Structures are given as C-alpha cells and as structure tokens.
Chains A and B, each alone.
Chain A
Amino acid sequence: MPKLYSGAEIVFKCLKDQDVEFIFGYPGGAVLPIYDELKNHSTIKHILVRHEQGAGHAAEGYARSSGKPGVVLVTSGPGATNVVTALTDAYMDSVPLVCISGQVPTHLIGTDAFQECDTTGITRPCTKHNWLVKDIKDLSKTVHEAFKVATTGRPGPVLVDIPKDIQFAKTSYSKPNNEKKLNGKSLNYFSQKNIDELIDLMNNSKKPIIYSGGGVINSGPEASEVLRELVNLTGFPITSTLQGLGAYPGDDNQFLGMLGMHGTYEANNAMHDCDLLINIGARFDDRITGKIDEFSPKSKKIHIDIDPSSINKIIKVDLALVGDVKDVLKGINKTLKKKNIDLKKSNKQKISKWWEQIQKWRSKNSLNFNNSDETIKPQHAVQRLYELTKNKDVFITTEVGQHQMWAAQHYKFNKPNRWMTSGGLGTMGYGLPAAVGVQIAHPKKLVIDIAGEASVLMTMQEMSTAVQYNLPIKIFILNNQYMGMVRQWQELLHEKNYSESYSEALPDFIKLAEAYGCKGIIAEKPDELDEKIKEMVQFDGPVIFDCRVDPNENCFPMIPSGKPHNQMILGPSEKEENKITGKGKALV
C-alpha cells in the first residue's frame, strides 16, 4: 500500500516536484496546517510579507525577473481578498503566479463562517483558472495542473483554494504527469506558408517597423536573442512597448525607443507612417494605439502572438502567426538565412529614405527637457541614476505614474527580465514589493524601485520584509509631493483644478527609513545628486532615497487623448500651440 500523506504534506511535495524554492505568504487560521508543515521542508523558504498584496507583487517580481512561476500562500477571507489586486495585475501583464489559499472546512462552506469568502468566485475573472479542492484525492493532480496552466501558453495567475479539512485529510501522492495536454490546447499554429508570406511582405516594404512587446520577454531570454538577430538581419527599425523594454538593447541605433502615449516622437511617427508593421508579442493596448481608426493607416499589419484571442481583438491584421515568439522568430530567421536573403543589404536602398525620415524625427529630441541648476528635474534624476549604475547588472521596478514613464524613457535596458513595471493594471504600490521579490531571486544584484512618493506609501509596510531578510533594495523616490500623473491630467483636461492630488502631510522619509531599520538619504539640489546616488548604491542594505524633484514637471512627449500617433505634444515649449481641446496642429 502506498504511503499516505496529509493534504499539507502533499502541497509541499507538489511544490518540491515543481522546483519551488520560495513562497511569499502570510499565515492565518485556514492555512495553519500548511504552515505547520513548513518546518519539514528546508529546500523551500517562506518569505513573510506584511500584507497579502505585497506577497502577490513580490511573487510577480520574482517571476518576471527569474522566468519561474511565483508562489503565494495566503489564508481564507481577507487573506484571499487582499491578494486580488496582485492577481489581477499578474493577469493583465501575463505573469505566472500560483496562489494557494486556505479555505474554511468543507462542511462550513456556504455558511458565512469566520473568515469565509467565495475565493474561487471572487478570483475567477482575475485568474487564468482556479480550483476549489473538495476531495483530498484531487489535491496533487490539481496543484500540478495549476503550475502547468500558469506557465504554459500565455502565462498568468492561477489559484488553488484548499479547505482546512482537506489539509488534514490523508491520501497517497501522485507525481506530475508531464505528458498531459490541456484539452489539446497546443501553442504553435503558424505554418511555413505564413513565414514565407511574411518574408514576401518584408521584401516589398519600403517603410517597415518592428513593434515588440512583453511576449518576447515571456518567451524567455532566447527569444530576445532571436529578436536581435532578426533586427540585425533585416536592418529594420524597432520600437518596444513598456513591457517589452530590454528585449532589444535600449542604446542601439536601430531602436527608436518606447512607443505609445509617452513614447518617443520618432517611434510614434514611424508607427503612423509605416507601410509594414510587425507586432511581435504585443497586444495593441489602448495606451499604444491612441485613436483606433487612425492607427497606422497605411500599413500592412502582422501580428505574432501566442494567444489566439489577441489577434484582431483591437486592430484587424493582415497576417497572424499564432505561436511562441521564440519559435516563430526562429522560423523566420532560419528561412531568411536559408533563402540567403540579406534584407539588410538588399533593402538598404529601399529603406534608406525611411531611415532618413526617422533621423529627422529623431532630431526633434523628444525626450528633451529644460534642466535646472536650482531644482532637481525628475528626468535628470533618472538619467543620473542610469549613468551611475549602467555598468552593473541592474534590476529596475517601478510604481505607477509620471516616475514610471520617466524611468521607461530615460533608463536604458540592454537585457530582458531587468524591468518590472505594472503596465496593464497600473497598480500603484507595485514596485516596492516587486523589488523584494526580485532581490530574493537575485540576491547579489542591484535592485532599484524607481518610485513616486504617493505610490510607494501604498505598500510601504514591505520595507519591514526587506529588513527582515536583509534585502538591500533601493527605493528611489522621485518626490514631487503630488500624484504627478493625476495632476498632469488635471492640468491638461480639468483647468488646473488639482482636486485631491496634492500629497498633504507626507512622512519624513529619512525618519521613516530609520524607523524601519534601514537607511534614509535625501537629495534636494542637483549638485549633490550624483554623490547621494553613489552613496545609495554603495550602501549594503535597504535604502529609502528621498529625491526632492520639481513638483511642476510634466511628462512629455505625449499623445493627447483621442489623437493619432502623429499628433504628439512635445515638451513645454511646443505645448502652447497644441492645446489638447483645440484643433491640435499636426506635428508632421
């Protein structure tokens, strides 16, 4: 007879067989049997957070920087509801998470028991799939399937809800079955014919552009390599979404910078005027497309994505290649090389005019800003941070708002998995716990959360976690005393009625840092910035850096609401002639 294990033991056996090293969690009544079992499994380390949302974001940071699924363990009721924001965030940004939640015993389900909530009901719209395990015999199979669903295809969060009596019940354990297909949901649907069609289009294009996204990162580091090879083979310009940054080197000449609402002038104009648009692992998000009817009006559109439901969801495309980015790009590169088509050479003539046009747009220098000797400009702060850390292998997380866009614009990434930001859901408070998770995955690396003072206060309690586990994360706060992005929209759209966007009664961040037992640094003048940043980087331990920046600075360039890509507002000097409500003079 096979050995019998308790549900709690089976959970750990599953985690071990799935090569889990870290769990981010918070104990409570309905998961106590699992927590009791923790002591018997030395290969699995539990990271105690201070709020379940922090556990979720930390697991996201861990997953996005390591490529492995993040594991979260929470109790029933409030434990589960607190993690909902993080699950939704992971769902929007396609991050693989496995969340295990405790539930009240099966006989109490539906009776409004203490700390009971309908966890699978609440999390159904924000997970790829979820399970309530009502029979101990289903437990090991379910947990293994949970890992499979989270990590295959387009990744995403899943949740397994385990009632307390199931954690105590005993049964035999079954190992993961790697052969099992998920209802035959295979991933690659593209054919060689599709690739040949694509190459024909590439051959005939005079104004091509590659628009790559987070799918390249999710496809693994090899996908970034084949993307670089493709860009090199073709000589095409490439732009990236917020989530795709790092897949292609940010300082390369063929890279036009980020596109979209706060993307560069050259990237957005190239998207608008191109005759061939190759979308690689991006999803035509509304922050990217601007006005749909005028989005890239003259181009043939190609979409490469692993999720068939992404195709034609927002933008109708002419050719779709459904599959794992890595496999599709490998196929394209192989065919290019086999046919011995060196587009870079043969197309050079054809697309040289295109590059000239791009250079003209580039010369606008759209990320420019008026620097100051008096106050620290937030863009300048990010640029200095980049210059002073670029020789290290740095991992950057962010919160959400102006600082996030400035980080995306001015910090250059050369490797995938180095940039963790909440793009889809736009979760303020993401960056600090995400940095915790990143540092857990990469204990020796420099991990910086480029933060805003409003966002970071939403999950500030996780500094305690950082101190407990000696995680030397650096919280670099661009402190402008405003919810800056809210203020910017109020300035542009609501006649400067700054309704509730001023951060009244901010804490003294130095004292706050000291209260948590970490180091606080403040920089108020541009001339002390470099020295303070160096001090932060060199300090062996967590740091809260209060960088006092110009409170009135706005994030430019930007595509105003309801406008197409070729009608961007550039910096303050151009702003006057392009009022958002006015007829907006085209900037082409």
Chain B
Amino acid sequence: MVNPKSAYSVSTKKEKSDTHIIVVWVDNESGVLARVVGLFSGRGYNIESLAVAEVDAKRNISRITIVTTGTPQVIDQIKLQLRKLVPVHKVADFKRNDKSVIFKEMALFKIVGNTSKIKKAINACKKYDLVILDKTKKSNVIQITALRREIDKMSKNLKKLGLVSVSRTGAVAMTRGDKIFN
C-alpha cells in the first residue's frame, strides 16, 4: 500500500481476478514478441504462459497465445493496449472456463527408473494422448497433451515414479465448431 503521506492516491480497488486466454495475431517481424511482452511487463500485467509461432508463412503472420489473470478492467486494458501496437492485426480473448474453446498444452516427461516404475508412469499418463518418443532400458521420454492443471498434477505425481525432467509449452487455443475469430 502506498504511504498515505504521498503525492499519489491510495489504491482501494479490490475486484475479482479471472484467468483469460488472449490470442494475438501479429506480423512476424523482429522484435514483435518483445513489444507484446514489454507491454505486459511495463503495465504490470501478468503472464502465466506464452506460446508463439508463425501460422501463415505467406502473409507472415504469427499467433501468440497468452494466459493471464486480471480484473475485468485489466483484461479490457490488455486487449485495448494490444490493439494499439502497430504490428498487431487482431486480438481475441477467452475465459479459461469457456466451453466453446479448446485449450491444450503439451509436456515432455523424462522418466528414469526400473521397468515397473516406467510402466506405472505410462499408465498414469494414458488418458492424456500419450506418445512414447524415446525408449531405453532405463528411461522413457513421453509426450502428453492436456490442460494446464492436468499437466501440473502429472508432473507432481510422476516424481515418485522417476520423473527427472519436464519441458512444457504454454497453452494454445482454438474455438470449437466452424467459427473463427474475426
């Protein structure tokens, strides 16, 4: 809290924060990610996860998916401020609990241990579109795609089954049905 003996007013607002997924289409040019991320850090917005890659090589468009939390006012500001950036084409915003949107994250797990432990780990991951990418006598590298909280849970639970390394992406999002963002 700001000292009441101050040239600035004291913050009194206490609105509820929600998690949102912001999708931004940008020109794929040097420094564009820094502009978007710099906007977030400069204005004190928070980034939970970030996924970015070129999606249209011909038009040179990248798609950035950002998971963030904020009050409705902050989320509005994030969208409006993003739209002001010159390389930004469009911005979409979804609440995390929006049923009409698919959210996915991917994780790679390296499991080191005896066969029984590895088997248990694989069984535990089965419901998350498991793919075994690498296999030795003592280790496995497996890939799952799931929601953030599911991956959180798995990376906690697999510790006792020999999980030694985790690499995961940020969330990506897409609407269900034939609808696209405009």
Contacts and interface: CB of A to CB of B under 8 A. Distances in A.
Interface of A: 120-121, 124-125, 128-129, 132, 134, 149, 182-183, 185, 286, 289-293, 307-309, 311-313, 316, 489, 493-494, 561-562, 581
Contact of B7 (A124, A185, A308, A561): A561
Contact of A290 (B9, B30, B31, B87): B9
Nearest to A314: B73
Contact of A494 (B5, B31, B38, B42): B5
B48 to A, nearest CB: 22
A286 B9 contact: yes
A183 B32 CA distance: 15
A562 B10 contact: yes
A307 B84 CA distance: 9
Contacts of B31: 120, 124, 132
Nearest to A124: B38
Contacts of B12: 292-293
B29 to A, nearest CB: 9
Interface stretch (B74-82, B94-102, B127-135, B149-157): B74-82
Contacts of A292: 9, 12-13
B34 interface: yes
B117 interface: no
B8 interface: yes
Given A124-B34, A293-B12, A581-B5, A313 B77 contact: yes
B171 interface: no
Question: Which residue among B4, B6, B85, B86 has the maximum number of chain A CB atoms within 10 Å of its CB?
Answer: B86
The 3 tightest CB contacts between A and B, nearest first, are A309-B80, A129-B86, A493-B5
Contacts of A313: 73, 77
B83 A291 contact: no
20 contacts: A128-B86, A132-B31, A182-B86, A183-B88, A185-B83, A286-B9, A289-B9, A290-B9, A292-B12, A308-B80, A308-B83, A311-B80, A312-B73, A313-B77, A489-B7, A493-B7, A561-B4, A561-B5, A561-B6, A581-B4
Interface residues of B, number: 27
Contacts, number: 64
Contacts of B7: 489, 493, 561
A291 B84 contact: no
A128 B85 CA distance: 8
A311 B83 CA distance: 14
A581 B5 CA distance: 8
B9 A562 contact: yes
B33 to A, nearest CB: 12
Given A124-B35, A129-B85, 11 more contacts: A149-B86, A183-B89, A289-B9, A309-B80, A312-B73, A313-B73, A489-B7, A493-B5, A561-B8, A581-B4, A581-B5
Contacts of A124: 31, 34-35, 38
A134 B31 CA distance: 13
Contacts of B5: 493-494, 561, 581
Nearest to A158: B86
Interface in B18-33: 30-31
Contacts of B87: 183
A197 B5 CA distance: 42
Contact of A125 (B9, B13, B42, B86): B42
Centre residue among B38, B42, B84 by max chain A CB count within 10 A: B84
Interface string B54-91: 00000000000000000001001100110111111100
A485 to B, nearest CB: 9
B182 to A, nearest CB: 11
Most buried by A among B9, B12, B42, B81: B9
Contacts of A316: 73
A309 B77 contact: yes
A332 B12 CA distance: 36
A334 to B, nearest CB: 28
B83 to A, nearest CB: 7
B84 A309 contact: yes
Nearest to A134: B30
Contacts of A308: 80, 83-84
A312 B4 contact: no
Contacts of A290: 9
Contact of A121 (B9, B34, B76): B34
B43 to A, nearest CB: 9
Contacts of A134: 30
A369 B6 CA distance: 25
A517 B96 CA distance: 68
Nearest to B83: A308
A544 to B, nearest CB: 30
Contacts of B8: 286, 561
Nearest to A148: B86
Contacts of A562: 4, 6, 9-10
Nearest to A287: B7
Contacts of B80: 308-309, 311
Contacts of A129: 85-86
Contacts of B85: 129
B86 A183 contact: yes
Given A124-B35, A292-B13, A309 B6 contact: no
A291 B6 CA distance: 13
Contacts of B4: 561-562, 581
Contact of B81 (A132, A286, A309, A581): A309
